[in-house]
């Protein structure tokens, strides 16, 4: 890769009770007054009052559209609605589903997009990639990064603790993702961006170093995780690909999605994957596992609620999902016995 385009968020606001500043945040970006908000019904019921008051006070009109899942059907609905409503900007307000649908809809409708997360469960908050169910490809699709990110720590801190633990799993996954990227550079001559890789590693390091503090659940530690997730998404923007954030551990997660749909959160499966892939890379896998245990994240098949044999199946399936994305799993080409031994050796099964 001798050239690639870097698109970054123009404006990021992280703080306490900043949801009340959404109106000024949108107006300052200067795209127009017609706003289309994408969220689930539960999120709307919790924060509609603050959003309505904020948008109205800055003369913004809005339409609120509910989605139940991140599917192409909902993306199509949003694109059609945006055209009919003559929307000037899309706002994804909620968890991963709402942000992913708004992100991909904005890409297809050629509209700017604002990410307003209500949980810290994954790094899609600021990345240019969207995870959509029901596609022929189980991994994320290229979309566009948000033009702005507004993260209210009070709202995010009140989300279920399991979501924060999932976000920590997605963060530690950057350790093995970067190692896989280095491997592809060294053995396949693939482009490697040192700055993007360093930024991703730094995001992972936060969880490793601060896991006991994160476990306490203070708003300050929640803010640290949110900012690390935003930074990880920015690393993908800088790299022009998901390489610094997604490697063999993410392929393992995608494989589990195919083999056992709707069991476990994305970050949880990536965290488990990172433990195993760290062992393959001769890294300190115990340090990753202990950090995840400290933040009350799942670290084995039992805690995830999945048949141990499916863990082995997923390890074997993972490299076939993206044969062009060279990782440690492609290099080693494990057989079933080796895959089972790997999972057992790090106490995943």
The per-residue pLDDT for 133 is: 79
Q: What averages of pLDDT result for each successive group of 10 residues across the chain (349 residues)?
A: 83 97 96 95 91 95 92 93 95 93 95 96 91 72 91 96 96 98 98 97 96 92 97 95 96 95 94 98 98 97 97 98 96 98 98
Its pTM stands at 0.94
pLDDT of amino acid 138:
63
What's the pLDDT at 69? 87
The radius of gyration of the chain's CA atoms, rounded to the nearest angstrom, is 20
In the block, residue with structure tokens 């016995």: 337
Domain 161-345 part of CATH 3.40.50.2000: no
Closest by CA to 227, choosing from 260, 259, 203, 251, is: 203
Residue 261 tokens read as 């749909």
First to last CA, the chain: 40
Q: Are 133 and 70 in contact (CB under 8 A)?
A: yes
11-157 topology per CATH:
Rossmann fold (3.40.50)
Separation in Å, CA 132 to CA 65, 81, 98: 18, 19, 11
Distance CA 253, CA 130 (A): 15
Predicted confidence (pLDDT) per residue in 96-145, tens digit: 899 999 999 999 999 999 999 999 999 999 999 988 877 666 667 888 89
Main-chain dihedrals φ then ψ at residue 339, nearest 5 degrees: -65, -40
pLDDT in tens, 222-239: 999 999 999 999 999 999
Phi and psi, residue 37, nearest 5°: -100, 130
3-class DSSP assignment, residue 217: coil
Contacts (Cβ under 8 Å, ≥6 apart) of 10: 29, 147, 148
* Angle subtended at Cα 128 by Cα 236 and Cα 262, rounded to the nearest 5 degrees: 100
Residue 127 structure tokens: 């990345």
Q: Locate the domains of the chain by residue range.
A: 11-157, 161-345
Quote the CA–CA distance of 86 and 84 in Å, as a whole number. 5
- How far is Cα 229 from Cα 17, in angstroms, rounded to an integer? 19
């Amino acid at each position: 890769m001798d050239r690639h385009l870097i698109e970054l968020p123009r404006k990021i606001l992280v703080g306490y009770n900043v949801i009340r500043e959404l109106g000024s945040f949108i107006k300052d970006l200067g795209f127009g007054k017609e706003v289309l908000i994408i969220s689930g019904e539960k999120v709307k019921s919790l924060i509609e009052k603050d959003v309505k008051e904020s948008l109205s006070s800055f003369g913004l009109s809005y339409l609120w559209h509910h989605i139940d899942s991140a599917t192409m059907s909902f993306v199509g609905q949003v694109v059609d609605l945006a055209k009919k409503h003559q929307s000037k900007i899309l706002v994804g307000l909620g968890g991963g589903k709402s942000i992913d649908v708004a992100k991909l809809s904005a890409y297809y409708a050629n509209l700017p997009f604002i990410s307003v997360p209500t949980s810290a469960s994954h790094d899609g908050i600021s990345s240019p990639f969207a995870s959509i169910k029901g596609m022929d490809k189980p991994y994320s699709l290229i979309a566009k990064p948000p033009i702005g990110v507004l993260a209210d720590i009070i709202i995010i801190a009140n989300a279920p603790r399991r979501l924060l633990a999932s976000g920590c799993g997605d963060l530690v996954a950057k350790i093995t993702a970067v190692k896989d990227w280095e491997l592809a550079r060294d053995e396949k001559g693939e482009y490697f961006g040192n700055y993007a890789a360093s930024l991703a590693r730094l995001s992972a390091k936060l969880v490793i170093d601060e896991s006991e503090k994160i476990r306490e659940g203070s708003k300050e530690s929640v803010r640290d995780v949110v900012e690390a997730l935003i930074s990880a998404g920015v690393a993908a923007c800088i790299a022009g690909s998901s390489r610094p954030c997604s490697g063999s551990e993410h392929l393992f997660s995608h494989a589990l999605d195919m083999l056992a749909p709707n069991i476990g959160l994305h970050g949880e499966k990536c965290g488990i994957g990172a433990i195993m892939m760290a062992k393959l890379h001769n890294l300190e896998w115990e340090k990753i596992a202990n950090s995840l245990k400290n933040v009350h994240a799942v670290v084995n098949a039992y805690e995830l609620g999945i048949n141990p044999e499916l863990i082995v199946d997923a390890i074997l399936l993972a490299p076939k999902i993206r044969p062009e994305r060279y990782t440690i799993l492609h290099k080693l080409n494990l057989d079933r016995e080796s895959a089972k031994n790997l999972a057992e050796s790090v106490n995943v099964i």
